Homo-oligomer: A and B are copies of this chain.
Amino acid sequence: MRSDAKKNYDMILAVARDLLTGGSPDASLRDIARKAGVGDGTLHRHFPTREALLEALLRDTFDALSARARRLQEETNAEEALLTWLREAVGSTKDYSGVIAAMVSAIADEQSALHGSCVTLRSAGNRLLVRAQTDGRARADMDGDDLFALISALAWLAEQPPLVPRSDRLFDIIADAILPGRGPR
């Protein structure tokens, strides 16, 4: 990449992160381009869709979650590892509203810029799930796709402003479904 292109690319990402995690979660691509000081076409060439931009913003987060799963796998018992990782996975997208629906759509669309990140996430979760199932902790009639869906549902709930105050409780309820016999009844 030419150095001026690289500079634009980085500037777009920085501005997008500021706007989206700041007060403007629905900022238009045009707004982002303007604030980044580039033309509409430049943004569109670097990031052909909004998804592509989100993917670039979240790739590091997904990679970190995958590494985190590996560490938990080694260091912690199966139930605690899965639970901790779930909590972190659900929390990981909370600053990027709208990304959850895009992720669910991307898991089935190999063309999507988010596809790779989604597959990585699902695999990481699946490893932890299988171990917890082997230990008889997690319910047996579930697979990695179910787990991915439940994480999505929880992340989506946490994205809805009126439900934010309840999101910890809702996490506990659904976590109980995955790891029965944990919390209070």
Residue among A145, A149, A152 with most chain B CB within 10 A: A149
Interface residues of A in 153-185 (CB under 8 A from B): 153-154, 156-157, 160-163, 166, 169-170, 173-174, 176-178, 180, 183-185
Mark A46-64 against chain B: 1 for CB-CB distance below 8 A, else 0.
Answer: 0000000000000000000
Q: Does A105 contact B (CB under 8 A)?
A: yes
Binding site secondary structure of chain A:
helix
The answer to whether B173 and A146 touch across the interface, beta carbons within 8 angstroms, is yes
- Residues of chain B contacted by A38 (CB below 8 angstroms): none
Does A36 have its Cβ within 8 Å of any Cβ on chain B? no
Complex Cα spacing A166 to B145, Å:
9
A40 to B116, CA, bound (A): 42
Q: Tell me whether A5 is interfacial, beta carbon within 8 Å.
A: no
Q: Chain A: how many interface residues by the 8 Å CB criterion?
A: 34
- A172 nearest CB neighbor, chain B only: B141
Q: By the criterion CB–CB under 8 Å, are B178 and A150 in contact?
A: no
A140 within 8 A of B: yes
Contact of A146 among B150, B153, B166, B184 (CB under 8 A): B166
Neighbouring B residues of A157 by C-beta, 8 Å: 149, 152-153
**A156 partner residues in chain B, CB cutoff 8 A:** 153, 156
13 more A-B contacts (CB under 8 A) besides A107-B162, A149-B166, A174-B177?
A104-B162, A105-B162, A108-B161, A139-B173, A139-B185, A146-B166, A146-B169, A150-B173, A153-B154, A153-B156, A156-B156, A174-B174, A177-B177
Q: List 26 A-B contacts (CB under 8 A).
A: A104-B163, A105-B161, A139-B176, A139-B184, A139-B185, A140-B184, A141-B169, A141-B184, A141-B185, A146-B166, A149-B157, A149-B166, A149-B170, A150-B170, A150-B173, A152-B157, A152-B160, A153-B153, A153-B157, A153-B170, A156-B156, A173-B178, A174-B177, A176-B177, A176-B180, A180-B180
